Amino acid sequence: MIGRTSEEVANVLGAGAFGAAKETGEVLNEAINSGAQKNIGMGEAVGRTLLDNDFPHNDQSLLAQAYKLGVPVTVHVAVGTDIIHIHPSVDGAAIGQTSHFDFRLFCRMVSELEGGVYLNVGSAVLLPEVFLKALTVVRNLGFEVKNLTTANLDFIRHYRPATNVVHRPTLEGGRGFNFTGHHELMIPLFAAALLDELTKK
Protein backbone atom coordinates (compact mmCIF):
# COMPACT_ATOMS: atom_id res chain seq x y z
CA MET A 1 0.00 0.00 0.00
CA ILE A 2 2.77 2.45 0.90
CA GLY A 3 5.90 0.68 -0.31
CA ARG A 4 7.44 0.08 3.11
CA THR A 5 6.61 -1.35 6.50
CA SER A 6 4.40 0.89 8.61
CA GLU A 7 6.15 0.30 11.93
CA GLU A 8 9.24 -0.93 13.71
CA VAL A 9 8.20 -3.68 16.12
CA ALA A 10 10.69 -2.82 18.86
CA ASN A 11 9.51 0.80 18.91
CA VAL A 12 5.82 0.02 19.44
CA LEU A 13 5.69 -3.34 21.23
CA GLY A 14 6.25 -1.85 24.70
CA ALA A 15 3.21 0.41 24.35
CA GLY A 16 1.03 -2.46 23.11
CA ALA A 17 0.68 -0.78 19.72
CA PHE A 18 2.34 -3.44 17.54
CA GLY A 19 0.15 -4.29 14.58
CA ALA A 20 -2.23 -1.41 15.15
CA ALA A 21 -1.97 0.05 11.63
CA LYS A 22 -5.64 0.57 10.83
CA GLU A 23 -5.44 0.34 7.04
CA THR A 24 -3.55 -2.99 6.96
CA GLY A 25 -6.10 -4.78 9.11
CA GLU A 26 -9.09 -3.22 7.40
CA VAL A 27 -7.97 -3.89 3.83
CA LEU A 28 -6.80 -7.46 4.39
CA ASN A 29 -9.71 -8.49 6.59
CA GLU A 30 -12.15 -6.95 4.12
CA ALA A 31 -10.48 -8.97 1.35
CA ILE A 32 -10.72 -12.19 3.36
CA ASN A 33 -14.33 -11.55 4.38
CA SER A 34 -15.21 -10.81 0.74
CA GLY A 35 -13.42 -13.99 -0.33
CA ALA A 36 -15.54 -16.02 2.08
CA GLN A 37 -18.72 -14.50 0.63
CA LYS A 38 -17.55 -15.28 -2.93
CA ASN A 39 -16.38 -18.78 -1.90
CA ILE A 40 -12.82 -18.25 -3.15
CA GLY A 41 -9.46 -18.73 -1.49
CA MET A 42 -7.56 -16.20 0.56
CA GLY A 43 -4.73 -15.83 -1.94
CA GLU A 44 -7.13 -15.01 -4.76
CA ALA A 45 -9.24 -12.72 -2.55
CA VAL A 46 -6.27 -10.64 -1.41
CA GLY A 47 -4.75 -10.42 -4.90
CA ARG A 48 -8.08 -9.28 -6.33
CA THR A 49 -8.53 -6.66 -3.59
CA LEU A 50 -5.04 -5.24 -4.13
CA LEU A 51 -5.72 -4.79 -7.84
CA ASP A 52 -9.24 -3.45 -7.28
CA ASN A 53 -7.79 -0.76 -5.00
CA ASP A 54 -5.04 0.03 -7.53
CA PHE A 55 -2.38 0.47 -4.85
CA PRO A 56 0.76 2.22 -6.12
CA HIS A 57 3.10 -0.70 -5.36
CA ASN A 58 1.02 -3.56 -6.75
CA ASP A 59 3.78 -4.21 -9.28
CA GLN A 60 5.92 -5.42 -6.33
CA SER A 61 3.18 -7.56 -4.75
CA LEU A 62 3.41 -11.30 -5.29
CA LEU A 63 -0.31 -11.73 -4.63
CA ALA A 64 -1.38 -8.87 -6.90
CA GLN A 65 0.79 -10.06 -9.79
CA ALA A 66 -0.23 -13.69 -9.35
CA TYR A 67 -3.90 -12.73 -9.49
CA LYS A 68 -3.27 -10.54 -12.54
CA LEU A 69 -1.56 -13.43 -14.35
CA GLY A 70 -4.01 -16.11 -13.19
CA VAL A 71 -1.41 -17.95 -11.12
CA PRO A 72 -2.87 -19.61 -8.01
CA VAL A 73 -1.41 -18.60 -4.64
CA THR A 74 -2.49 -20.44 -1.52
CA VAL A 75 -2.40 -18.97 1.99
CA HIS A 76 -2.18 -21.34 4.97
CA VAL A 77 -3.08 -19.43 8.12
CA ALA A 78 -2.00 -20.17 11.66
CA VAL A 79 -4.46 -18.01 13.60
CA GLY A 80 -2.71 -15.52 15.85
CA THR A 81 0.46 -15.25 13.76
CA ASP A 82 -0.52 -12.12 11.85
CA ILE A 83 -1.32 -8.61 13.04
CA ILE A 84 -4.62 -8.61 11.14
CA HIS A 85 -5.91 -11.23 13.60
CA ILE A 86 -6.04 -8.63 16.39
CA HIS A 87 -8.10 -6.08 14.44
CA PRO A 88 -11.81 -5.49 15.13
CA SER A 89 -12.66 -6.42 11.52
CA VAL A 90 -11.27 -9.96 11.80
CA ASP A 91 -13.67 -12.83 11.15
CA GLY A 92 -12.34 -16.21 12.25
CA ALA A 93 -14.91 -18.09 10.18
CA ALA A 94 -13.86 -16.21 7.02
CA ILE A 95 -10.18 -16.91 7.73
CA GLY A 96 -10.92 -20.59 8.22
CA GLN A 97 -13.10 -20.84 5.13
CA THR A 98 -10.73 -19.06 2.73
CA SER A 99 -7.60 -20.74 4.08
CA HIS A 100 -9.27 -24.17 3.93
CA PHE A 101 -10.29 -23.43 0.34
CA ASP A 102 -6.62 -22.72 -0.36
CA PHE A 103 -5.56 -25.99 1.30
CA ARG A 104 -7.90 -27.90 -0.98
CA LEU A 105 -6.54 -25.97 -3.98
CA PHE A 106 -2.99 -26.78 -2.83
CA CYS A 107 -3.92 -30.47 -2.60
CA ARG A 108 -5.14 -30.34 -6.20
CA MET A 109 -1.83 -28.83 -7.30
CA VAL A 110 0.13 -31.46 -5.35
CA SER A 111 -1.98 -34.18 -7.02
CA GLU A 112 -0.36 -33.12 -10.33
CA LEU A 113 3.20 -33.16 -8.97
CA GLU A 114 4.30 -36.52 -10.39
CA GLY A 115 7.59 -35.81 -12.19
CA GLY A 116 7.51 -32.24 -10.89
CA VAL A 117 9.33 -30.08 -8.38
CA TYR A 118 8.31 -28.71 -4.97
CA LEU A 119 10.31 -25.90 -3.37
CA ASN A 120 10.06 -24.95 0.30
CA VAL A 121 11.56 -21.49 0.68
CA GLY A 122 12.18 -20.13 4.16
CA SER A 123 9.44 -21.93 6.09
CA ALA A 124 10.79 -23.99 8.97
CA VAL A 125 7.51 -25.31 10.39
CA LEU A 126 4.18 -24.45 8.76
CA LEU A 127 4.69 -25.11 5.04
CA PRO A 128 6.61 -28.38 5.48
CA GLU A 129 3.65 -29.64 7.53
CA VAL A 130 1.11 -28.38 4.98
CA PHE A 131 3.01 -30.06 2.14
CA LEU A 132 3.27 -33.38 3.97
CA LYS A 133 -0.47 -33.38 4.78
CA ALA A 134 -1.40 -32.46 1.19
CA LEU A 135 0.83 -35.23 -0.14
CA THR A 136 -0.87 -37.66 2.24
CA VAL A 137 -4.32 -36.55 1.06
CA VAL A 138 -3.57 -36.98 -2.64
CA ARG A 139 -1.82 -40.31 -2.22
CA ASN A 140 -4.75 -41.50 -0.10
CA LEU A 141 -7.11 -40.52 -2.93
CA GLY A 142 -5.10 -42.64 -5.37
CA PHE A 143 -3.02 -40.02 -7.16
CA GLU A 144 0.40 -41.25 -8.27
CA VAL A 145 2.85 -38.75 -6.76
CA LYS A 146 6.03 -40.68 -6.09
CA ASN A 147 8.62 -39.51 -8.59
CA LEU A 148 9.20 -35.90 -7.60
CA THR A 149 12.05 -33.57 -6.78
CA THR A 150 11.89 -31.56 -3.58
CA ALA A 151 14.17 -28.83 -2.32
CA ASN A 152 14.41 -26.81 0.85
CA LEU A 153 16.04 -23.38 0.65
CA ASP A 154 16.77 -21.56 3.90
CA PHE A 155 19.38 -19.66 5.89
CA ILE A 156 19.96 -22.66 8.17
CA ARG A 157 18.87 -26.30 8.19
CA HIS A 158 15.81 -27.15 10.25
CA TYR A 159 14.32 -30.52 11.24
CA ARG A 160 10.87 -30.24 9.65
CA PRO A 161 11.90 -29.11 6.15
CA ALA A 162 14.72 -31.66 6.07
CA THR A 163 12.33 -34.41 7.17
CA ASN A 164 8.97 -33.42 5.67
CA VAL A 165 10.14 -31.88 2.40
CA VAL A 166 13.52 -33.39 1.54
CA HIS A 167 13.45 -36.91 3.05
CA ARG A 168 9.98 -38.43 3.64
CA PRO A 169 8.22 -37.40 0.38
CA THR A 170 10.99 -38.93 -1.73
CA LEU A 171 11.27 -42.27 0.06
CA GLU A 172 9.41 -44.03 -2.78
CA GLY A 173 11.06 -42.16 -5.64
CA GLY A 174 12.58 -38.89 -6.72
CA ARG A 175 15.22 -36.86 -4.91
CA GLY A 176 15.32 -34.25 -2.20
CA PHE A 177 17.85 -31.44 -1.75
CA ASN A 178 18.81 -28.97 0.96
CA PHE A 179 20.25 -25.61 -0.10
CA THR A 180 21.55 -23.42 2.68
CA GLY A 181 22.18 -19.75 2.03
CA HIS A 182 20.68 -16.28 1.81
CA HIS A 183 17.46 -15.97 -0.19
CA GLU A 184 18.51 -12.71 -1.82
CA LEU A 185 21.36 -14.68 -3.45
CA MET A 186 19.94 -18.18 -3.87
CA ILE A 187 16.57 -17.30 -5.41
CA PRO A 188 17.94 -15.01 -8.17
CA LEU A 189 20.70 -17.54 -8.93
CA PHE A 190 18.12 -20.33 -9.09
CA ALA A 191 15.89 -18.26 -11.39
CA ALA A 192 18.86 -17.41 -13.62
CA ALA A 193 19.87 -21.08 -13.84
CA LEU A 194 16.31 -22.05 -14.82
CA LEU A 195 16.11 -19.34 -17.48
CA ASP A 196 19.51 -20.37 -18.82
CA GLU A 197 18.43 -24.00 -19.05
CA LEU A 198 15.13 -23.11 -20.71
CA THR A 199 16.83 -20.97 -23.37
CA LYS A 200 19.10 -23.91 -24.34
CA LYS A 201 16.11 -25.96 -25.52
pLDDT, residue 19, reads 81
22 and 91 in a single domain? The answer is yes
8 and 37 in a single domain? The answer is yes
Domain final residue, candidates 76, 111, 146: 111
Q: In what order do the strands lie in the sheet with 149-154?
A: 117-121, 149-154, 175-180
C-alpha 99/C-alpha 40 separation (Å) is 9
pLDDT, residue 21, reads 79
For the chain, 201 residues long, give each residue's pLDDT as a single digit of tens: 888 777 788 888 888 888 877 888 999 999 999 999 999 999 999 999 999 999 999 999 999 999 999 999 999 999 999 989 999 999 999 999 999 999 999 999 999 999 999 999 999 999 999 999 999 999 999 999 999 999 999 999 999 999 999 999 999 999 999 999 999 999 999 999 999 999 987
61 and 77 in a single domain? The answer is yes
Q: How many separate domains does the chain show?
A: 2
| Dihedral Cα 155, 102, 76, 184, nearest 10 deg | 20
pLDDT, residue 17, reads 81
47 and 125 in a single domain? The answer is no
6 and 99 in a single domain? The answer is yes
pLDDT, residue 100, reads 98
C-alpha 9/C-alpha 13 separation (Å) is 6
Q: What is the DSSP letter of 39?
A: T
pLDDT, residue 189, reads 94
90 and 188 in a single domain? The answer is no
Domain final residue, candidates 84, 111, 138: 111
Q: What is the pTM of this model?
A: 0.91
Strand (E) or helix (H) holding 21: none
Beta bridge partners, 149, equal: 117, 175
118 and 100 in a single domain? The answer is no
